[in-house]
Structures are given as C-alpha cells and as structure tokens.
Structure 1
Amino acid sequence: MSVAAVASLRPIRGQCLRQARTGLLALTLTSRSATLSIRMTVPLQPIYQRYHSTVKEAEPGNEGDKQTGKKPEKQKLTFRQFWGRALAVSLRNLAFAVSPKGVRQGFRENPILISVILLALIFSAVYGTIQVRAFYKLFYNRQWSRYPEPIATTLRRAVYFTTVSPDPERALKYYKKAMAESKQIGLDPFTDEVVGIRIMVAYWLEKIGNFSQAIEVLEAVRRDCLEWVENMEKQAANGEINEQGRLKAAVPSDSTAPVYSALNDETKPHLKEQELETLWRRRERLLSKAVSISVKLGEIFADEHVLDPDNSHLHLVWSVETTLKEFRRRKEEGPKPGEQSWLTPAEVGSTMESLGRDYERKSQFHLAIPLFFQALHNCESPCHRAVIMNNLSACFAQHPIYSPTAGGNPETESLKDLFASSMPNTRQDCLEAASNWANNAYFHAKDVKGDDRTAECDEACATALCNWGDVAAMQGKADLARKKYEQCVELSNKLGFAQGAKTAQDGLKRLRAATSKS
C-alpha cells in the first residue's frame, strides 16, 4: 500500500497596509482507494510575515551597504539632464509612432484616435507651409529684394508695423529711415523704388487718418516729378538731346537715368532694364506717376475728412487733360526713343471715372455721363463694369433735361444736342435709360462667376436693385419700386451690406409717404 502526502501553507489576506498573521495549512493524503484532505488555521511565524529583505545584497563597489543595511542614494538629475532625457524619450516615441510598425500597431489598438492624430498632423503641416509661404511672400519678395540690404531690412520692419502688428509711430519711423538711407547710399531719387518709398509713406499717413501730411507728401512727389519733366522738355526744345534720347554733352553711361553704384551684384540684374532707360522713357515714367498721384490727390481732397472740392476738381481735370494731351502728342509726333505704351486702358478708364464722379458730386451730369462711358469702354474688371453702369444709371436718373433752344449753353442744352443723336432727349427718355442701365448692372454683376467674382459684384447687385427701385418710383411704378427695394434689403442683409439696406429702407419710407399722400 502506497500513500502520497501534499502540504501547503498560505497567508490569509488581511486589510490594506496590514500584514497577514494567520495562514491556512492544507494537507492532502492520497492512496489508491481513498483521498483525505485536512485544512486548519495556524498562526504564522515571524519569518513568514515580512514582505522583503531588510538587507540588500551589496553591489560591486558598495561593500559598506551590506554592513550598514542602508540603500544607496540615487544620483540626482540636473535640469538639463532631465529635459535632455525627456526629449530623447519623446523623439524615440515619436519616431516609433510615425514608423509603419507604430502606425499599424496604433490602428489595431485605437483606429479612431490615430486617424484624428494623423489628420491633425496633416492640417498642422499644411497650415505651417501656408504661413511660411505667406511670410516669405510678404517680407522677401522681389519688391523688397530690389533694394540694397540696409534699405530692404528697414522696409521689412516698416511693413511689419504696417500690416502684421500695426504701430503708426514705429512704421512711420522706419519709412523715414528708409528714405534717409536711400539718400545716404546715393540712389537716384527718381527711380520707381525711391519714389515708391515716398508713396508708401503717404499711403500709411492716409491709413492712420493723417490726411494733411499725406497730401503734403504726395504733392511733393508730384512737384518733383513735374519739375524734372519740365526741365527735360526744355532740353529737348533747345536741341540738347540726341537721337538716342540722351544728353549730347554727357557720356552715355552717365546719362542713363538711375545711378546704382552702391547696389550689390544680386540687385543689379533686376534693374538692368531700368539702368538703360532713355530720357524720354524717364519722362514717360515720371509723367505717368504724376498723373496717378493727381488722381489720388483728387480722391483725398474729395474725402469727407478733407472736403476741398476745388482742389479735387483741379487735380482730376489736370490728370485727364494731361493724359489726352500725351496721347495727342504721340499721335502727331510719333514715339520717341525708349518710349513705351502710354497708360493702360484700365488706368485711362480709372482717370476718366474719377473725374466723372467729381462732376456727379457737382450735379454736372451732362459732363459726368460721357466720362463714365469712356471709363466703361476701358474697364477690364467685370465687377467694376457693373459699378460704372450703376453710376450711369444714377446720372441719367438725376439729369434735368433743359430746352434745346436755350442758346448753346452747355448747362441748358439736352444730351442729344451735346453728344449724339442716340442720347435721350426728354425726361422720360432719361428715366428709361436709367432703368435700363440699372437692369444691365444687376444682371451683369449677377452673371459673373468663378475667380472673377468679388465682393464688388455683390455690392453692385444690391446697388443696382436700389437704383432700379428709385427709377421705378420716379416713373410712378410703385409696385415695381417696392419689389426692388425689398429685394435690395434682403440681399444687403444677406451680404452684410449695411449701407445698401439703409438706402433701400429709406426708399421704402419715401414710397409709403408718397402713396399715403396720393
């Protein structure tokens, strides 16, 4: 007969943070015929009550720890070591996370979270690329690289305090510093680059509301340009300019317009074409600059913060007369050496439109209408064409038709007598023309699609509806006028065009008042 015995002893669990003092002793006797199990609770001896040894085996070089029983102190990390290790661990984890193995493991464990993280990383990369590109496009484009490095750096700071972090005083300080540096280096004051700095100063002064100083700067630039043009024309009249468009008494290299001896080699290739300009080419460039500055001065003088209509009118008339005079000279005399095309159609149309608006403000609609026609003919922007059509509609609606037998005075003649037989000759014809132009402006602005469509198109639609309502009210078509006013209010509220909604609501009030009286 054989008997097998198995005995086990395990502590009985106690409460948290308390050692077990009793244990369960289990004894199992097994034979071929029977099995006997005996269990009993017994007190544990102290040797079985401790959880770990109080004496640590001594490590090599730490024999003293075995004798004293004390744990060796851990080496303290410095701040730099801590962040270095944290960065190393983070980079290792990041490298594993973006590796194919890490991505596959992450998708298996949590596909939603990994998808969100990947989308966030892609968005951050795209956004960062766009911001870096915008930064270089704003501060390191060809416009600034044309200048010598000291001036370019100063202008970048001025642009930063102009657009990124607006600070009028610091921006103006850097603009003036750039002008002083250009003079110190010896740049020609009549180049587009140096004149452009002065114009930027005027633009910033206007933006911050300092209209008087902005006018002073622009008038000084215009005066300098016209003085150079006048002196050059005197030299041409006295025969001092040769057939190549240079001074006869000067060395050809010295008679070229700009002097860029101080520019670096990287800047010179960009200015090669301008270095070779003739005196006639420089005259053309400065005269066109004076025309554009005159148009800008006319707009500033007409601003509600300045309100100097006389000076506004003088500058606008001068710009149109100079433009037409230069076209006439080229047609009669032909192009001079180095001259290029004189003003683009868009620039000519803008000049005509500015003077037309000035005549419209003076209620001289018979003079504004042909200028708006010329502006419409030269306009290249589809959205701005709708704006000019609205101006024509307003002029026709407000034009008073006088008797055509008043003695040849332009103030008292009809449009047909002044311009062409196709022009309206009666008040009713003018209102019909105004309605047609408002209709054309609305549908023309509405049909513009794609990249050509801008906010100007939306505002032109709302303005055309309001003009259409005004003309319908003048024609006695109350229902049509009410309908167009309501459409204008709805569209203006949708676009956030507060001025359009207010004008249309005022028209509804006038319409209700007229209906109640009748």
Structure 2
Amino acid sequence: MPAARPLLRKQPCNGARIQIRTAKTYIRPPNRFEKMVIDAKVQHPILFPFLLIGCFGSVSMLLVMAYNEYKKDKLHTTDYPIEVEERLRLALHYTHIQPDPETSAKYFMQAIQKAEEAGMDPFKPDALGIRIRFSQMMENFGHVKSAIEILDGVTKDVEQKLAEIDEERAANTGKPSEEEEATRRQLLRATIQTKVKVASLYESDYMQDRQTAKKILSEAVGLVVKETQDAQTTGFTDDNSAGMTAGEIAAMLSQMGDLYATTGEEANALQVYMLTLQPLRASCNGTRSCKEAQVLSNIAATMDQALKKPDAKINGRPATKSSLTAARKAALNWADQAIATTDVVNPEDRDDICELALLSAQMTRADLLLESGDKDKSREAFSSLLPTLREKNLTPLVQVAEEGLKRASS
C-alpha cells in the first residue's frame, strides 16, 4: 500500500497586501517650523488665516518701504541743480571717502562753474556754501593758505555786494522790505563768520600769524559793534542787524581776548574778556557754564601776567606797591570766582573746558598768593595741585607748579 502523501495546503499569497514605500512616497518628519505652522493651524483654525494675511501684509509693507527708500536715493533731493549736485557729490566723495585733494578741488571748481551757468544767486547760502566747503576741504588736507585765499574771495565778494545794498538803501528814502533786510542780515553774518574763520586759520599752527589774525578779528568785532544799537552802553545781545546770537558774539570776543593776551596786550585782553561775560551769560539764560569759568580764569591769569611786567601799569598809571597789592587782591577774587563757577555747573554740563578752567584758576591763585607773600597758602595750593597735574600728564604745568612750590618753600 503506497505511503500516504502529505496534504499540502496552498498558502495564501499576501504579495498584494505588501506596501512598498519608495523614496518618493516616504513622508519625512516635519521640521520645527513646519510643526509650529501645523500646530497653529490645528489649534487656531479661525485665527490662522488672519495670521497668514498679516504676515503677507507686513512683508509687502517692508518691500514697499525698501523700494521707496531706494527711489528716494535716486531722486534729486537738494536745492542744487542736478549738474551742480553731481559735481558736489563727487567733490565730497574725494574729500571724505577716497581722499584726493586735487580731484576734489577739480570737482569743486566745476560745481562753482555749473552753479554760475545755472543762474544760481552767488550770494545765497547754497552757492556760498560750495565755496565754504571748498575752503574746508583745503584746510583738511593742510592747504591752509589756499583755504584762506578762497575765504578772502568770499569776503571780498560779499562786502562788495553789501556796499551796493547800502548805497541803494541810502538813495531810497523808503523803508526796506523784510526780504531786503533778511538778505542784508544774511550777508553781514556771512562776512563776520568768514572773517572769524580766517582769523582762526592765521592763528593756527600752520600760519602762526597772530598779528594778522588780530587785525581780521578786530574787523569782525567792529562790524558787530556797528550793527548793534548802543553796544557801548547796553552791551551785546541777539538784537543786532548782523543776525549774530549772543553765544556767537561771546565766542568771537573770547577769541579776540585770547589773541590780545598771547600777543602781550593784556590791557586790551582784559577789556575784551570783560565784554565777553555779558553776552555769554545771556546765551546761557543766566545759568553758570564752563565757558564762563574759562573766561573768569582767563581774566585772573591775564591780570597775574600783566602785574609781573617790569613796567606794569594799573589803570594806565605806573604800578606802585599799594596798587600792586590791590590789583593782586582783585585778581585773586577773579580766580576764586572761576573756581566757584566750576563748582556750581550742573554735572551733566561739565566738560574738559571746566576741568582746564579749574586747573588754570587754581594755578593762578597759587601764583598770586606767592606774589602776595603768603608762602604758606601758596605752598599748600601748589602741593594739592601737583598730583592732579601728574595724573593728567600735563607736563608743562607740572614744571610750573614744581617751580612755584620750590619758591614757596624757600
């Protein structure tokens, strides 16, 4: 009997059920940003569309703003004619971005020429400003003489125009219009400011011509005096035909006083320093300032220097022992005022001017005490000053203080 054959059951084929996932059909896990978007969509189904709209609107607004700024840079936005502006931009580029004085000067000259061809009024601030910037460029590159020549040309042209205006006003009995007054005031202001700048250039280390600087600055001060009503009695104020503010007048007078003091004209320096105080205080609305402390300190130092001269004069008369004593006492008072002023200046307003004014006043005070014969107080003053002077590395003043201390200790 044949052996029984095992029953073989046909296994069901599961091939149709097997899912084959290829690289194209495999879904990767969402990244952090996608997960955040999905969560927002699920958790806030109503607010999510508004969020999308808001984001789209913000991006659109940023694009519009960026395009607007781009177009603004491309548009002509100054008062200069386009051909003048192009040359001026190039001149400034070769002044600050890619320094080249010769190329910058070439474009400044072209800008001035194009301004004339375009019919720009040469006495308006825009046209004058090109020439002023030209001189500044020359100064920045060390060509001080050329800068002075440019400013002298500006001054000459403006003064000639002022003379023509004054002649017309003298011939016309009618009252000048506000526009005419404004034009004359602007030209006067330009003349004064240009003269002050030229004086500063002559006084600089490049030129070191203080006599010429003093002459030109005196002319500027004379113009302010001429255009101020009753300047001798009421002093200097903002109410002047030159359009100068009290602060600007004070700065000019202080510079004039410094020139007199450094050229040995202490009497004139003191007079000018005294005149400086009134407009300076007016410009600060009566509050004490570092600049006031500086002027007070300069008054004391100038008096001290004048009293040391062999032929010292006090009020136009030869100094005597008693007058010297009284004058030194007055100078000490000015030094004390300077020190007191620095003490009451608001902390937020204090600057290097305050520090230098304080040191100068303290040095002058110590020297005046020594000259007055009070060696103990003088020695104490010099001793207290030396650490500060050494800390600030003010070598010349350290030497003066050490010499004073040596004399006070002898």
Q: Does residue 468 of structure 1 match 2:365?
A: yes
Go from structure 1 to structure 2 and tell me whether the alpha carbon gap of 1:168 and 1:228 turns closer, same or farther (over 3 Å shift): same
Please state which structure has a larger fraction of its residues in strand: 1
Unaligned runs of 5+ in 2: 1-19, 25-29, 41-68, 233-239
**SS of corresponding position for 2:199:** helix
- Aligned CA distance change for structure 1 residues 488 and 224 (closer, same or farther; 3 Å): farther
Q: Deviations over 1:263-299 (max 9, x none)?
A: xxxxxxxxxxxxx721x43222212221222222222
Q: Which amino acid aligns with 2:315?
A: L
Match of 2:352 among 455, 471, 482: 455
- Alpha-carbon distance change, 427 to 146 in structure 1, aligned in 2, over 3 angstroms: farther
Q: Which residue of 1 aligns with 2:122?
A: 189
Distance in structure 2 (CA, Å) of the matches to 1:457 and 1:60: 78
Q: Deviations over 1:128-160 (max 9, x none)?
A: xxxxxxxx9xx99xxx84434554455455555
Tell me: CA distance 1:513–1:169, structure 2 relative to 1, closer, same or farther (3 Å). farther
Higher RCO (Cα < 8 Å, 6 or more apart): 2
* Corresponding position: 1:228 with 2:161: yes
Letter in 2 for 1:397: D
2:305 aligns with one of 370, 375, 398: 398
- Runs in 1 of length 4+ with deviation above 6 angstroms? 57-61, 92-98
CA positional deviation for 1:340: 5.7
Q: Deviations over 1:285-333 (max 9, x none)?
A: 21222122222222222223212233222212212222212224999xx
State whether residues 257 and 273 of structure 2, in contact with CA within 8 Å, keep that contact through their aligned partners in structure 1.
Answer: yes
Compute the displacement of 1:218 (Å). 1.1
Is this contact kept in 1: 2:199–2:217, CA < 8 A?
yes
Larger Rg belongs to? 1
TM-aligned CA deviation for residue 375 of structure 1:
0.7
Distance 1:97 1:315, change over 3 A: farther
Amino acid at match of 1:351: M
**Structure 1 counterpart of 2:4:** none
**In the alignment, what sits opposite 1:179?**
112
In structure 2, what residue type is equivalent to 1:414? Answer: I
Deviations 1:418-448 (A, max 9, x none): 9xxxxx9821222222222222222312332
Higher share of residues assigned helix: 2
Count of aligned positions: 337
Contact 1:414 1:425 in 2 (8 A): no
What is the TM-score of this pair, normalised by structure 2?
Answer: 0.68
Counterpart contact for 2:189–2:242, Cα < 8 Å: no
Contact 1:446 1:457 in 2 (8 A): no
Deviation at 1:370, TM superposition (A): 1.5
Asked whether 1:514 is paired with 2:384, we answer: no
Distance 1:168 1:324, change over 3 A: same
Runs of 5+ in structure 1 lacking a partner? 1-56, 62-88, 102-135, 247-275, 332-338, 404-410, 419-423
Q: C-alpha separation between the residues in 2 aligned to 1:315 and 1:229? A: 18
TM-score (norm 1): 0.55
CA contact (8 A) 2:386 2:401 kept: no
Deviation of residue 476 (structure 1)?
Answer: 3.4
Q: Residues 212 and 489 of structure 1: is their aligned pair in 2 closer, same or farther, counting only changes over 3 Å?
A: farther
1:209 aligned counterpart, secondary structure? coil
Q: CA RMSD in A?
A: 4.1
Distance (whole Å) between structure 2 residues aligned to residue 95 and residue 229 of structure 1: 75
Equivalence for 2:60: none
Match of residue 8 from structure 2: none
